[in-house]
Chain A
Amino acid sequence: MRDRLGDLQVFISESPEEARPSEENQNPENAEPPELFMFDGEDEMDRIYKEAQLMQKEMLMLKLDVKRLGKQNARFLTSVRRISSIKRDSNALGRDIKARGEAIYARLEKLGKQSRELEEEHGATSAVARMARSQCVYLTKAFHEAMCEYNTAEMLQRENCKTRIQRQAEIMGKEVSREQIEEMIETGKCSLFSDNLLLEGRSARSALTEIENRHKELLELEGRIRDIHELFFQMALLVEEQGCKLDNIEANVGQTRDYMAEASAQIKKAVRYKKNNPCKKLLCCCFPCCR
């Protein structure tokens, strides 16, 4: 990486006055800073940016919930007794995640709709349509990642529970395979341990309690996953629809077309801008009614 800004400044300071373009002296408006040109759809983009920011915040909250769930799950593994000071239990977190997820998804859908409307209004190759579409892709990807994190957290807990059950069963002198545990989850029954067991001794009894707790947890976990299935399905649908090209930079640039400005409209806007220069922020309100 080579910084050449210094070289540029040296060049400018050293080059004679005549070498610089004379257009500077010709243009009487030169004294003013270059005019800012509002591009077609800028106010709509501002709204989309705001919405995107809010969605990002929501996704952050979702990810935090997922982390909390992870911690929660880990606690259940390491403690034998329930810690009564735990503020929220896994199911409540699961419900929270589901609600937030569904809300974000609804917003994503809405954003997608807005993006399509912008495409229709300004053209698919217009700057605003491409900006909106990119935001959709970006947010979809972020949300997808967040949901996958949730799935991973739950699956991790699942594996840990199964391992714990196996170990506890060993303590009780019984070997349990992973498939048997899967069956337990599916049928919901913990019938494995009702026969031929050495239930003597405290360790055996506490092992049994432990197994029953883990089993209960597994069933609740399965419940949470079933509950959120619809959301995963919708996410998958969305990702599938988008395909791989929308996130690909080359494909995006390939989509761009030469901008054909409508000359008269531009002049109108420029004139309006010049007149209202000091209060250009207020134009945001004026614009829609002037279309």
Chain B
Amino acid sequence: LITCNFSSAPFSEILNGVIKSVKKDGEWKVLIVDHMSMRILSSCCKMSDILAEGVTIVEDINKCREPISSLEAIYLISPMEKSVKALINDFKDTVFTYKAAHIFFTDACSDSLFAEIGRSRVAKVIKTLKEINVAFLPYESQVFSLDNPSSFKSFYGSRPCESKDRMIENMAEQIATLCDTLKEFPAVRYRKGPEDNFKLAKEVSSRLMAHKADNPSMGEGADKARSQLLIVDRGFDPISPVLHELTFQAMAYDLLDIKQDIYTYQTTGVGNSKQREVLLDEDDELWIQLRHQHIADVTKKVTELLRSFCESKRMCTDNANIKDLAQMLKKMPQYQKELTMYSTHLHLAEACMKTFKATVDKICEVEQDLAMGTNADGEPIKDPMKSIVPVLLNNDIGPFEKIRIILLFIFHKKKGIGEENLTKLIEHANIKNHSTIITNLQNLGCNIIGRNTGNTLPVRKERTESTYQLSRWTPVIKDIMEDAIEDKLDTKHTSNPSFTFLTLCSSARFGHWHKNKSPTEYRSGPRLIIFVIGGVSHSEMRSAYEVTRSTDGKWEVLIGSSHILTPNGFLNDLKSLDQESESEQSRTIVTL
């Protein structure tokens, strides 16, 4: 099967379609970006990639910039008023900031903004004007993000949000550009229940039609008629984002302080440098191999790989471990890349285990029992209150850990708990100033304080694969993915009402297709694209890869959301849902 790596399509759109397309030998160019396009660009390309194609400097459009009028400029921007005004401003004075403008919009530019450009002086020096239709971040090869964490508050805030409809339109356009880039025209399906699922689905549908009108090759190919885009809401599975995960990526992002995917640790390298920063992304082949594996396997695997690497390079050491790596690096600096990779992952695994052993290991068993409703032997748990109280009373355990236990307890109860009981639990745990985290979950449709409305957690599939005791939970989305692929996601899921998906627009309507004339780089099999409103957790991201593998690559599952969640991030998001605005809050952001 020819697989089109999901993250390579936008990369080539941008690098080839934008930067290379205006490259002229011997001439350098200035590249100007705004926040969104910068994030997209940064997740696809490195500085050296764009320098190789004639870009000498990258500027922020919203900053006051030094005029460099001997060079032409490439504007890679989103078609927003702020960016367009800044563009026009560059060519307002007698002296133009740059020699000429090559403009690339991330998605469709409105008529009014287009007219403004046409009326301004910049129109005289525009050499290129295109819409590239890449308005999303390809975070991983099967994960995308719309880079809009504030949308969580817009969707779930206690106070109505005026700009919500506008936001939904924008998100729909972003999702449509994703499909456009992948040449997909999927059937749009949404989980029945929350109105926003329907609203977003409707907007996505209409944007898809608009894109298809300009780009008829979307959805071409017999298999493509089976592609689906599913829209679900976060409240549908509130367990996955709060549960402690013991797979490498999820664990690292939960327990350690990893910002912007950079892991920092202390070590000695070739020189005397003490601190090393490493980017955890798909350029690191070892990260790709290890990120979804259980922590117990990770340390074993890395040690094994390092040992065989050392043997093959004749680096004689008795135990290939962290301490010896510095020596090896000095002896064989040409293997810096590999040795750094091993060093990074050994340190990362060690750091995870250290934090785990400090407090988390006591909690995991309780959490798994609550999430599954059964203990490790498969017997239904009898008195969960008994097992959580010692955790809540333990002063060594942080407040956010306690909140997570309480939440899992409440979810276990399925219909919520009495208000008195909740107050008692909050008191035991001494987390009164964080209590809104728990109550605000009602905004997502979860049953917190005993009532019969709201979501009932779905009945789950029987999973027969053997798992580690502390990793029995499977994210609900995995069941959905499997059902969707097996075409079992009917309109009436009688056994699981919360699995009811309504289909908005079937790609089968545009069923006529001609023999595959599409370039071989595009994937021929069907795709399942999942969009979660409100954030996606690492365990759910992992599920996309697992399900893809289980189809032997016949299907490709992509998952994404407005942003990637960490448990602390999710809890912090929840905390402020009932508050008015950023300035009014006094956030107590608790980190481990």
Contacts and interface: CB of A to CB of B under 8 A. Distances in A.
Contact of A244 (B68, B130, B278, B334): B278
B63 A37 contact: no
B65 A259 contact: yes
B256 interface: no
A35 to B, nearest CB: 5
Given A229-B333, A248-B46, A138 B128 contact: no
B123 A8 contact: yes
Interface string A12-28: 10010001110110010
Contacts of A38: 70
A37 B46 contact: no
B94 A29 contact: yes
Interface string B57-68: 111100111111
A86 interface: no
A256 B262 CA distance: 20
B494 to A, nearest CB: 45
Contact of A1 (B17, B276, B278, B332): B17
B13 A1 contact: yes
Given A1-B133, A8-B129, A233-B330, A249 B45 contact: yes
Contacts of B22: none
Interface stretch (B48-56, B556-564, B569-577): B48-56
A248 B129 CA distance: 27
B389 interface: no
- Interface on chain A toward B: helix, strand, loop, or mixed SS? helix
Interface residues on B, range: 35 or more
B29 to A, nearest CB: 12
Contacts of B114: 4, 7-8, 11
A151 B269 contact: no
Interface residues of A, number: 68
B38 A249 contact: yes
A3 interface: yes
A4 B38 contact: no
Contacts of B131: 1-2, 4
Contact of A131 (B17, B57, B130): B57
B118 interface: yes
B591 interface: no
Nearest to B214: A2
A147 B63 CA distance: 39
A250 interface: yes
A213 interface: no
B38 A5 contact: no
A61 interface: no
Interface stretch (A75-83, A87-95, A234-242): A234-242
B42 A127 contact: no
A21 B93 CA distance: 12
A130 B330 contact: no
Given A244-B262, A256-B63, A148 B337 contact: yes
Contact of B119 (A19, A138, A151, A243): A19
Given A45-B56, A138-B52, A186-B314, 15 more contacts: A2-B214, A4-B131, A8-B126, A11-B115, A12-B123, A35-B69, A35-B95, A49-B56, A127-B65, A138-B47, A232-B333, A240-B269, A240-B273, A256-B65, A270-B95
Interface of A: 1-5, 7-8, 11-12, 15, 19-21, 23-24, 27, 29, 34-40, 42, 45, 49, 126-127, 130-131, 134-135, 137-138, 141-142, 147-148, 151, 182, 186, 229, 232-233, 235-237, 239-241, 243-250, 252-253, 256-261, 270
27 contacts: A2-B214, A4-B130, A5-B126, A8-B118, A8-B123, A34-B69, A34-B96, A37-B67, A37-B68, A37-B95, A38-B70, A127-B66, A135-B56, A137-B47, A138-B47, A142-B48, A148-B337, A236-B329, A239-B336, A241-B273, A243-B276, A248-B42, A248-B279, A252-B58, A253-B33, A253-B42, A256-B60
Interface of B: 13, 17, 28, 33, 38-39, 41-42, 45-48, 50-52, 56-60, 63-70, 94-96, 99, 108-109, 114-115, 117-121, 123, 125-126, 128-133, 214, 260, 262, 269-271, 273, 276-279, 314, 329-330, 332-334, 336-337
The 3 closest A-B pairs by CB, nearest first: A236-B333, A250-B42, A249-B42
